[in-house]
Amino acid sequence: MAKRGFDIRRQTGFTTIAMACFFMLYMPIILLVVYSFNAGSSIAIWEGFSWRWYVSAWDNEQVQEATVRSLIIAVCAAGISTTVAVLAALATTRTRKFKGQSVVFAMINQPLMVPEIVTAVALLIFFAMIKVATGYTGLLYLIMAHSAFCIPFAYLPIRARLQGMDLSLEQAAADLYATPYQVFRRITLPQLWPGILAGAMLAFVISLDDVVITEFVKSAGQDTLPTYMLGQLRRVVTPEINAISTVLLAISVALVIAFTILSKRKT
């Protein structure tokens, strides 16, 4: 009789530990969503169902401005970081191995390895020097900071997709005298789209959610939605924060569903 291989699911206590982990992970999120519909102003005492806090958040001009600002920064940062990530992924997977390639890989992924607070302080100092020299204090600094921070998040899924692709089609196209640009546009890019979409959506969510770097780099009057929520938590906590968080959660879930549908169509 053949021996069964090791299966973690058959180990004693696996189900209990897994259920406990899922409970601790998702129960706070469920409570956040439920209390966003609380009729009262308490975040701990249920006083009935109401859309009151969603209406309040919708009519709040500060929330509207912060939301628009967050979306502008996130879209720009996702576009820039994904473009750079595609170029970096091609340079590290579609070229011959060279000395220092591991150093380049480490430099690209530096924001993942260095504490975010360190990156935030470094960006604060760097952009402060530019602000003093130029006098410009617009959103461009936040877009640049978010773009730099989001590059590795976009790079990893794109690089993984490139590494998993069959090179035979690209080699066949090159044998038929296609230029490198033609090979990329007609062969590589259509196969790479799921990775690009994954990287772009991940970069978008990371930028939309960022607090630390935004808090350090932003100028006066440039609150994003997360920094606005942080400021509200320091004053008075109401279910309006729950409502905003629930909307952000819904956007994240919608992006995941959209990516799943698009990736199935591309494969």
Fold entry, domain 61-266: MetI-like fold (1.10.3720)
Token code pair at residue 20: 């406990």
Residue type, 196: I
Residue 83 corresponds to which amino acid? T
- The secondary structure of 193-209, three-state, reads HHHHHHHHHHHHHHHHH
Find the radius of gyration of the CA atoms of the chain.
23
Q: How far apart are the first and last CA of the chain?
A: 40
CA distance 101 to 143: 28
Q: Output the pLDDT for position 146.
A: 94
**pLDDT by residue for the chain (267 residues), tens digit each?**
455 666 676 777 788 888 999 899 889 889 888 888 888 887 778 888 888 889 888 888 888 899 999 999 999 999 999 999 999 888 888 777 777 777 877 788 888 888 889 999 999 999 999 999 998 888 899 999 999 999 999 998 888 888 887 777 777 887 777 888 888 888 888 888 888 888 898 899 899 888 999 999 998 888 898 898 888 877 777 788 888 889 888 888 887 787 677 656 554
Cα–Cα distance for residue pair 97/1, rounded to 1 Å? 48
SS3 of residue 106 by DSSP: helix
How many Cβ atoms from other residues are within 10 Å of residue 195's Cβ?
A: 27
Q: For residue 263, what pLDDT is reported?
A: 59
Q: What single string gives the DSSP state of each residue in 49-94? A: B-SHHHHHHHH-HHHHHHHHHHHHHHHHHHHHHHHHHHHHHHHHHS
**What does the pLDDT read at residue 80?**
95
Q: Is the dihedral of CA 135, 136, 137, 141 positive or negative?
A: negative
> What is the C-alpha to C-alpha distance for residues 134 and 112, in angstroms, rounded to an integer?
30
- The residue ranges of every structural domain in the chain are 61-266
Q: What is the DSSP letter of 9?
A: G
